[in-house]
A and B are shown apart, each in its own frame.
Chain A
Amino acid sequence: MIRMRRVTKVYKGKIYALEDITVDIERGEFVFLVGPSGSGKTTFIKLLIKEEEPTSGQIYIADNNISQLSKWKIPYLRRKMGCVFQDFKLLPHKTVFQNVAFALEVTNKPERLIDQQVPEVLKLVGLGHKLDAFPDELSGGEQQRVSIARAFINRPPMLLCDEPTGNVDPSLTDGIMKLLEHISASGTTIVMATHDRELVNAYRKRVIAMENGRIIRDQDRGVYGSD
């Protein structure tokens, strides 16, 4: 699903955010990307959604070399991947329904489809009863569920999560993880950057540990490790 070949990303000519990364992530895998802040986790994700370009190296998604993708095709690439962020990125003046519908609206989906699919996916994330609530009326955990619903509504083959539990109350992170596992079980590839040690150790997924822009450990059913 994702193949990186000798990918290096240098910011401003000297700061190595990623250095010589080669990695394969298979279809349907659930991968934790761990490491301290500044280790390169966010850059890893930004390269996949083509928000940043690698300084050198090749990135393949579903066997397509995205480094060679022309600019106008980027939006179509992004429709095939859902993104979830630490800060939720919800629009405060839109309701839960409207926030999720927004993703379909701006990709030109018909209204009929929106009215049918949005309540469906919100039910899946456990918010079927809060369609008309505004984000500031929800807990952090609930807001992140809305964000996951928005990322997943197009049923993308891949979900990229950057610290999805970072702003969520620890007692609610389990709910978010259960939801992501449920989505993963349907065959969606999930890459989740996190530095939540307990969470990683509890779920025992593949762990790619990064430090100073390099992969220092890649382990199936791994733990966070000592640092």
Chain B
Amino acid sequence: MINLKYFSRETIDSLRKNVILAIAAIAVVAVSLGILGMVVMGWDMFSNMIKNTERKVGEVDVFLKDGVTEADRFALEGYIRGIAEVDPQKVTYKSKDQALEEFKTRFADNPELWQYVKENPLPASFTVMAKDPKDIGVVVSKIQNGNPVPAGIDEIKAASSAIERLENVFSKFRTIGSVVVVGLIFVAILLVSVTIQVAIFARRREVGIMKLVGATNWFIRWPFILEGVLEGIIGSIIAVFMVGLFKVYILDRLSTALPFLRMGSSSGLLYILFIAIVAGGIIIGSLGSVFALRRYLEV
């Protein structure tokens, strides 16, 4: 039988006794997990933005003139597939009708953009993926300067280098964020461990008597482990609030202010993240306790 009343009383008692250290540990747990959550949310939003932009890195759109003949279209498709730098599996055709449907779904929230359109203004197109995004210029010039010049091409558009640059910036941001988070988590574990050390020291008389009267090792350890875990949980709940506020007050406002960037978050991510943060808090807390117990509690 586990003596719940005893454990909870001892744990809370001990937390209250070194409240300042406990607050410090909780704060660092909260900040580390909070930043982790924000980096994940921000990254998710950014990658959705990239995904939603017209062209991905390494992608070329070849727009066709209206009224191009089927024969010209098949010839063009064969020609594009034959280019050495093009991935032949990733050449897809999109008809005028498909393009319009896609446009309507994408702008379902802004029906005024397409509601009053009578004739389909969107061109048919091929979407072409380069095997290596670096070769995108070669692909574009080979399509333009074929011999003979393929018929029916209206315009060729490639992913802009701006997006590529943006992606670089964000991946640096992600790397730095990860390093900071790893460092902070390390500090959080250390601080939890210090509070448990202090708790062990403060309760050394009790521990001595417990050993003497035959308390089992796990019975002695549990309140200390619970104390660390409780600090982790409290810190992670604060982190959950931080991430929630970050989402509502920053990300959501940003995407409302800049609708054309289409920065929506992946659905369900927030809840998975919340669960992961609390789990992270529990892991940080128990690791901190276990380190302290292994070093400072001889049972």
Contacts and interface: CB of A to CB of B under 8 A. Distances in A.
A46 to B, nearest CB: 11
10 contacts: A75-B211, A77-B214, A78-B211, A79-B214, A83-B212, A89-B205, A91-B205, A106-B215, A107-B219, A154-B213
A154 B213 CA distance: 9
B214 A108 contact: no
B117 interface: no
Contacts of B6: 105-106
A107 to B, nearest CB: 6
B3 A49 contact: no
A108 B3 contact: yes
A107 B209 contact: no
A41 interface: no
A72 B216 contact: yes
B217 A76 contact: no
A16 interface: no
Given A108-B1, A108-B3, A108-B219, A103 B205 contact: no
A110 B209 CA distance: 19
Interface of B: 1, 3, 5-6, 205-206, 208-217, 219-220
Contacts of B212: 49, 78, 83, 89
Nearest to B208: A89
Given A76-B214, A105-B3, A154-B213, 9 more contacts: A49-B212, A75-B211, A75-B217, A78-B213, A79-B214, A103-B209, A106-B219, A108-B3, A111-B5
Interface residues of A, number: 21
A93 to B, nearest CB: 10
A107 B213 contact: yes
A72 B299 CA distance: 9
Contacts of B211: 75, 78
Nearest to B218: A72
Contact of B214 (A75, A89, A111): A75
Interface in A192-209: none
Contacts of A106: 6, 210, 213, 215, 219-220
A60 interface: no
A150 interface: yes
A102 B208 CA distance: 12
A75 B213 CA distance: 8
B203 to A, nearest CB: 10
Nearest to B1: A108
Contact of A102 (B5, B209, B216, B219): B209
Nearest to B6: A105
Of the candidates A75, A76, A110, the one having the most CB atoms from chain B within 10 angstroms of its own CB is A75
B217 A103 contact: no
Contacts of A49: 212
A75 B206 contact: no
Q: Which 3 A-B pairs have the closest CB atoms?
A: A79-B214, A78-B214, A106-B215
B213 A103 contact: yes
A110 B220 CA distance: 17
A76 B217 CA distance: 11
B1, B6, B212, B213 — most chain A CB neighbours (10 Å): B213
Interface string A72-115: 10011111000100000101000000000011011110110000
Nearest to A150: B213
Contacts of A102: 206, 209-210, 213
Contacts of B209: 89, 91, 102-103
B16 to A, nearest CB: 13
A108 B3 CA distance: 7
A35 B6 CA distance: 42
